[in-house]
Structures are given as C-alpha cells and as structure tokens.
C-alpha cells in the first residue's frame, strides 16, 4: 500500500531568498511604530458650542531611533496635531513629545517616556548607507499602510537623485508598494539596514493608493537632521550673509541685476 502524502514543514519548504525576507521582517518589526495624529475639533451646531474634542486626524508610521525613546517620522504625519500618540509592537501606547522638526525636509523627532520595565520594547533600527544605492538593488518597505500594522512589501530601487515638487531633493525612487499610512516608515536594503524614510507616492489618479512609484528620503540626510534636532531642538542652515541694494539704487545707477553691498 502506498504511504499517504506528508505535509512539509514550513521552514523546509522555504528558499534562501524567502528566509532572508523573513529575517529582515522579524529583525525590524519591533523598531517600527504606529503614530496617531490627534486634533482638537470644536463641536457645535452654530447656536451651541460644546467643548472641543480630540479626534484622530490621521495615522502613519515611525521608527525607534535610539534606546532613549526617540522616534523619527515624517513631519507631515504629525502636522497640526494637538497630541501625538505612538503605539509600539507590544500594543503599549504613549503620548509623544515633539522634540523638533524640519518641515522643508519632512522629518520630525518625537520622544517617548517609557517606564524602566518597558525599556526592552525600544529596539533601535540599524542604519545602512544611502549614498551608494544602485538602480535595481532590492529593497523592503515596512510600515502601517491603511492602518495595517507592520506590513512588509518588497521591490527595487527604481531611481536615485529624484526631486519632488515639494522641494525635497536627492530622493530615492522605489517600486515597493507604499500606501497611505506608510509615511514615516522605513525603507531597508537586503541586509535589513535602514536606507531611507518612506515619504510620498506618485498618485496620478488621486485615489491615494500605490502606483508603483514611491519615494524615500535618504537616511544619510535624515541622520544629519536628527542629530541637529537632538542637539538643539531645531535645524539650522547656513546663510549667505549678503546685503543687497534696493531696486531704487539700481535704477539710479542704471544697473541691471543684483548689486551686492556687503
């Protein structure tokens, strides 16, 4: 009599590539957090104004930067918030303090006050290199699209040095699925090291879903901004320090263009 077919064990059926994908996910899942943006809304009907009420205005992603409870995300994830709440992998939720942000570069740093017995839940990411990425290189995106916690998608680097009409430059372009809620989440290389923050998608249809064209801020840029924010609470950029003559002076002198006085 022929023996009945046997079920394979899950791990024995996996390829080396699949095992690597799983390792990348498992290593980084504890580092990715869910962020809820709460805003105050005045209730009333035009005749009677009731007490203001906090309501969720949006959700996004973020990631643990260090063991001191700092979390990094996109600025647009927390824009306009009266309160920011951060939920860790173990479902514990904390009200975050906004340490600082750079609206132009779309980066923000938050701070969590985590009790001593919960410090083990703070698992910082491992940073990779974003300066030498090549088109065709495999990448993973990890975040909370549509509120679906810790969702992993995979793709490749589709382009480097992109510039968005928001003013962001040197952006990395990927075809890994990025959707609303992924903002502030991480883009990783094949070793599971963070190479960028997922920040935007191309959305020609206006439906707010992945078109296969996603954008991430290089982690090298992010680190410079975060270091400044942690040190001073803000980002400072160098100024030229030039004094320019007013238009009336140019007219009197018959000069076109710009006249630098000092």
| 238 in any annotated domain | no
Same domain, 105 and 189: no
Residue 162 belongs to what domain range?
138-232
Catalytic (active site) residue 150: no
Query: 223 and 145, same structural domain?
Result: yes
- Catalytic residue, from 31, 183, 210, 221: name it: 183
Same domain, 36 and 106: yes
The pLDDT tens digits of the residues spanning 43-77 come to 555 555 555 566 677 899 999 999 999 999 999 99
Q: Is residue 244 part of a domain?
A: no
Select from 61, 73, 77 the least CA-distant residue to 149. Answer: 61
Catalytic-role residue among 31, 70, 76, 221: 76
pLDDT tens sequence across 217-242 = 999 999 999 999 999 998 876 655 55
Give pLDDT, residue 161: 83
Tell me, yes or no, whether 174 and 102 share the same domain: no
Cα angle 7, 11, 17; round to 5: 130
pLDDT computed for residue 224 by the predictor: 95
Same domain, 173 and 113: no
User: What is the number of structural domains in the chain?
Assistant: 2
Q: Enter the pTM of the model.
A: 0.82
159 shares a domain with 88:
no
The single residue of 31, 61, 102, 106 carrying the catalytic annotation is 106
Run of H or E residues at 39: strand 32-44
If asked whether residues 143 and 218 sit together in one domain, one would say yes
Q: Active-site residue 183, yes or no?
A: yes
Active site residue 158: no
- CATH number of the structural domain spanning residue 213: 2.40.10.10
Q: Which residue has the higher pLDDT, 216 or 7?
A: 216
Nearest Cα neighbor of 172 from 150, 144, 139, 205 is 139
DSSP secondary structure string for all residues of 153-182: EEEEEEEEEE--TTS--SEEEE-S---TT-
Domain-embedded: residue 164: yes
Domain assignment of residue 92, yes or no: yes
Residues 211 and 181 in one domain: yes
């Amino acid at each position: 009599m022929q023996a009945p077919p046997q079920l394979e064990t899950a791990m024995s059926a996996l390829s080396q590539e699949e095992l690597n994908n799983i390792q990348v996910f498992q290593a980084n899942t504890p580092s990715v957090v869910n962020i809820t943006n709460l805003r105050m809304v005045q209730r009333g009907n035009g005749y009677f104004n009731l007490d203001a009420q906090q309501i969720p205005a949006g959700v996004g992603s973020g990631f643990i930067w260090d063991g001191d409870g700092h979390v990094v995300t996109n600025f647009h994830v927390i824009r306009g918030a009266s309160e920011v709440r951060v939920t860790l992998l173990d479902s514990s939720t904390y009200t975050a303090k906004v340490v600082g942000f750079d609206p132009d570069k779309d980066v923000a740093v938050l701070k969590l006050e985590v009790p001593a017995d919960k410090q083990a839940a703070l698992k910082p990411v491992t940073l990779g290199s974003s300066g030498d990425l090549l088109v065709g290189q495999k990448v993973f995106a990890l975040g909370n699209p549509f509120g679906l916690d810790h969702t992993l998608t995979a793709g490749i680097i589709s382009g480097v040095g992109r510039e968005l009409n928001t003013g962001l430059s040197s952006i990395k372009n990927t075809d890994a699925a990025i959707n609303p809620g992924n903002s502030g989440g991480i883009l990783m290389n094949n070793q599971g090291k963070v190479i960028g923050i997922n920040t935007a998608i191309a959305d020609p249809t206006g439906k707010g879903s992945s078109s296969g064209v996603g954008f991430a801020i290089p982690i090298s840029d992010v680190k410079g901004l975060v270091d400044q924010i942690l040190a001073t609470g803000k980002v400072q950029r160098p100024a030229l320090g030039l004094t320019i003559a007013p238009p009336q002076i140019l007219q009197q002198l018959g000069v076109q263009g710009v006249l630098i006085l000092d």
